[in-house]
Structure 1
Amino acid sequence: MEFSWHPVQLTIIVSACATFITFFIGLLAAYIMVKKPIKGKAIIETLFFLPLVLPPTVIGFLLLMIFGNKSFIGQAIETLFGQSLLFTVPAAVIAAIVVSFPLMYQSIKTGFLSVNENVIDAAKDLGATNNQILRKVIIPLSIKSIITGIILSFTRAFGEFGATLMFAGNIPGKTQTISTAIFFSIESGQTLNAWYYVAISILFSFVLLFISNRVKVKGLSKKSIFRHY
């Protein structure tokens, strides 16, 4: 079996799609959990962080039960789109979203909590709406944490294996990612191919983590924020 770039390309595409979707979900979840009075926040956050501690195979099993052909959601998707979600690229994206969400959520939440309440109060006094405060005050002042969350989530999605294997499968040229390609290259005795994928994975992850550690973003001054109102 010759080395193929398809797993690399697919992994990048899946990770990018998952990170894009996770960013908006994490942003909304963090804002609600930080700014809204909600009962049972501890329980909700525990659920948010479960993918970090659950074995990937457990996550894959749960996804199969939720989106499988015998589930209500799975049957509805098959009826609506004419095919099952199982063993498809969207399935790989969903698996990546689930495992990377906790990192995105925690990073954005940390950024939101670091914003001085006096700055937010000052913006309110100037007549800013909640939407304006989020877009022009909270997000700009949390940008370092947001960028870190994006990079970490992308890296986590990039390396996902267990849940992806169970939910999206390992179909060469279709759903095979770098992680599954490494596993099955070793299983089939193609050690050199496995080394290629391992080297690419290490290099890619190292660069992303290096950028995350070195990211330098100048904070906006209060004057630059408040001039919008």
Structure 2
Amino acid sequence: MFDENLSPLWLSFKTAAIATVIVFIVGVFLARVIARRDFPGKGILEAIFLLPLVLPPTVVGFALLVFFGKHGPVGVFLDKWFDTQVVFTWSAVIIAAVVVAFPLMYQSAAAAFQQYDDNVERAAYTMGASRWRVFWTVSFPLAWPGILSGTVLTFARALGEFGATLMLAGYIPGVTDTIPLSIYFAVESGNMEKATFWVVIIIALGFSAILWLNWWSKRSMMRYREK
């Protein structure tokens, strides 16, 4: 019963969770490395990172399809050396979610790393702390509120991804049928009851994520003021 009726929920959660982990690691790392440094081409690089945020999802999906398709650079490499493909697989769902959600994580983490005084880090360095230790004991805790906000938004965005997923992964029941795709094809087939069910589910999930984030932010602000 679960596999037949609720598989889109499980698939969406699994995809969003994996995509969030990947985006968290890559986004925080790049934000920490780039945010406080000035170098030629920084603006262009950050524009590329944030581009999926402003492009239509179908455009992002088309770019991914060209890149990972049968004749694309990655597609050719995977086919030649591993005899496999990404298009129309669950891996394509994850890739689409990662690319579309990445700008939210990077933007939040970069802003978080820029908001505190870097003299705190310099003081830790003068006391003999390594860069790794300074990051985990000083930089990361100070930036954590912004990073957490980015993580929640990343998860919500990955959960609701539609356009790029449809372009790259298609709609294959039990394989790539995430909640947004299930809604679309339920409407296309005239099954409004099924579409309404999934609409209610994804609205509830998104609302819960935003509500929790607002509650946590207010609670953290109250604790900060008490200190």
Fold conserved (TM > 0.5)? yes
Partner of 1:204: 205
Partner of 1:120: 121
Instruction: After superposition, give the CA deviation of every residue in 1:123-174 in whole Å (9 maximum; x if it has no partner).
Output: 1121112221111100011111111010000001111100000101110111
Partner of 1:34: 35
Partner of 1:176: 177
2:198 and 2:82 map into 1 onto residues whose CA distance is 33
- Are the counterparts in 2 of residues 78 and 85 from structure 1 also a CA contact under 8 Å? no
Give the count of matched residue pairs. 218
- Are the counterparts in 2 of residues 15 and 154 from structure 1 also a CA contact under 8 Å? yes
Which deviates the most, 189-198 or 42-51? 42-51
Structure 2 unaligned segments of length 5 or more: list them.
none
Instruction: After superposition, give the CA deviation of every residue in 1:82-108 in whole Å (9 maximum; x if it has no partner).
Output: 321111111100000011001000111
Which deviates the most, 101-110 or 79-88? 79-88
Partner of 2:12: 11
For 2:139, give the aligned amino acid. I
Q: TM-score, normalised by structure 1?
A: 0.91
Partner of 2:105: 104
Partner of 1:223: none
Q: TM-score, normalised by structure 2?
A: 0.92
Instruction: After superposition, give the CA deviation of every residue in 1:186-224 in whole Å (9 maximum; x if it has no partner).
Output: 0100000000100000000111111111214467xxxxx
1:11 and 1:139 map into 2 onto residues whose CA distance is 29
Partner of 2:131: 130
1:35 and 1:84 map into 2 onto residues whose CA distance is 38
Kindly state the Cα deviation for residue 22 of structure 1 after the two structures are TM-superposed: 0.3
1:74 and 1:189 map into 2 onto residues whose CA distance is 35
1:79 and 1:210 map into 2 onto residues whose CA distance is 47
Which deviates the most, 74-83 or 176-185? 74-83
2:73 and 2:48 map into 1 onto residues whose CA distance is 22
For 2:67, give the aligned amino acid. I
CA RMSD of aligned residues (A): 1.6
Kindly state the Cα deviation for residue 36 of structure 1 after the two structures are TM-superposed: 3.4
Kindly state the Cα deviation for residue 78 of structure 1 after the two structures are TM-superposed: 2.3
Secondary structure of 2:5 counterpart: coil
Superposed counterparts of 1:213-224, under 5 Å: 213-215=214-216, 216-217=219-220
For 1:72, give the aligned amino acid. P
Partner of 2:86: 85
2:206 and 2:81 map into 1 onto residues whose CA distance is 37
Secondary structure of 2:94 counterpart: helix
For 1:73, give the aligned amino acid. V
Kindly state the Cα deviation for residue 12 of structure 1 after the two structures are TM-superposed: 0.6
For 2:126, give the aligned amino acid. D
- Are the counterparts in 1 of residues 61 and 168 from structure 2 also a CA contact under 8 Å? yes
Instruction: After superposition, give the CA deviation of every residue in 1:60-118 in whole Å (9 maximum; x if it has no partner).
Output: 10001100011231021123333211111111000000110010001111111112222
1:80 and 1:92 map into 2 onto residues whose CA distance is 22
Partner of 1:226: none
